[in-house]
Amino acid sequence: MFTGPLAIALAGVWLALIAQNLGKANNQASGSQVKGERLVALASGFSDIAQPLERLMASTKPAVYQNGTQQAAAMVQIGITSHHLPTAAPLIASFYATLQSRSGPRQVFVIVGPDHLERCNQYASTTQLPYQTPFGLLPVDQAITEDLIKAGVNIDNNCFEGEHAIGTQAIFIKREFPEALIVPLLLSSATTDSIIEKIVGVLKNYSEEITVIGSIDFSHALNYEQALRVDSESDKMIAGLESLGLTLFHTDSPPTVSLLVGLAKVLGSAKADIFQRANSFDFNGQKENTTGYRNIFFEGESQP
């Protein structure tokens, strides 16, 4: 858990470092080009954070669990972490450092998150364009993407521009798993159970290749005490592998949680381990207008 003056002080150093780099960064134009290839542009300024992010990741160790260990035997194929960069950067770094210590397929990362501004105008959308990250080009798995499109997912190579739900995870994945591919998925807040079931149906066919990352945040715009109460409600539902009671009051993407819980049940993930809890207050010391964060692994059977 990230709490107390030390956490705030360390986060302050990180935020100052990021702010310097964001100040230097230029906005990336839509339809960026690298050697004639069209790319998805990350959110403004993300391209210039390689050095501070490298230092952060190099100093981040896997999370320590309640039993005092840093590793567990159960495989991890589904997880949830924040996309709130730069504020939650230490938490996101901890998620990926801990994921590195666990078993599971890492050839392809399916990144699922909210279409924050509803720019895609569809229940579910994907893109076939690669991402240019500070650590190099991150390609898209075309086979999985094609199957999702056949199942009814919208293809839109424009609405992903600057969408940090995908861009944040793309940066960390490229740094930690440089050979991996991604499948970006943006979900509308109105996404139906029917389209979620179709997506789960496609993804289960690639269970030996994929890790699925839910790129979401939890309570928004509440004071610290209110946020703790609301996020505790979310914890109980997710720990019980339930998602029906989650609303936009609890998280910025209830459909993403529904998809992850549905896939977890199909793939045999026995439980949801909420191994780190945090709030934006823990990083910036501001008790009003906070955002809730969680690092969660959906754990499967133990590996020999």
pLDDT, mean of residues 50-66: 85
Output phi, psi for 222, to 5 deg: -105, 160
Contact assessment for residue 18 and residue 106, using Cβ atoms and an 8 Å cutoff: no
CA distances to 183, 194, 236, 253 from 68, in Å:
34, 42, 23, 32
Domains of the chain: 4-302 (3.40.830.10)
Under 8 Å between Cβ of 140 and 166: no
pLDDT value for 112: 98
Q: Is the pLDDT of residue 38 over 80?
A: no
d(CA 194, CA 254): 14
Q: Please report the pLDDT score of residue 39 as a whole number.
A: 74
Alpha-carbon separation of residue 269 from 65, 74, 293 (angstroms):
18, 9, 22
Contact between residue 270 and residue 299 where contact means Cβ atoms under 8 Å apart? yes
State how far the Cα of 267 lies from the Cα of 211, in Å rounded to an integer: 11
Summarize pLDDT for 228-285 with one digit per residue, the tens.
999 999 999 999 998 888 999 999 999 999 999 999 999 988 789 999 999 999 999 9
275 and 63 Cβ atoms separated by less than 8 Å: yes
Cα gap 220→114, rounded to integer Å:
14
> Nearest-CA neighbor of 167 among 282, 56, 95, 86?
86
Mean pLDDT of 219-229: 97
pLDDT more than 70, % of the chain? 81
Tens of pLDDT, residues 108-162:
999 999 999 999 999 999 999 999 899 999 999 999 999 999 999 999 989 999 8
What is the average pLDDT across 285-291?
97
Q: What is the Cα–Cα distance from 72 to 27, expressed in whole angstroms?
A: 42
In angstroms, rounded to a whole number, what is the distance separating the alpha carbons of residues 113 and 89? Answer: 17
List, in order, residues 6 or more apart from 137 with CB less than 8 Å away: 34, 39, 130, 131
Kindly list the distances between the CA atom of residue 119 and the CA atoms of 115, 180, 255, in Å, as whole numbers in the listed order: 7, 27, 16
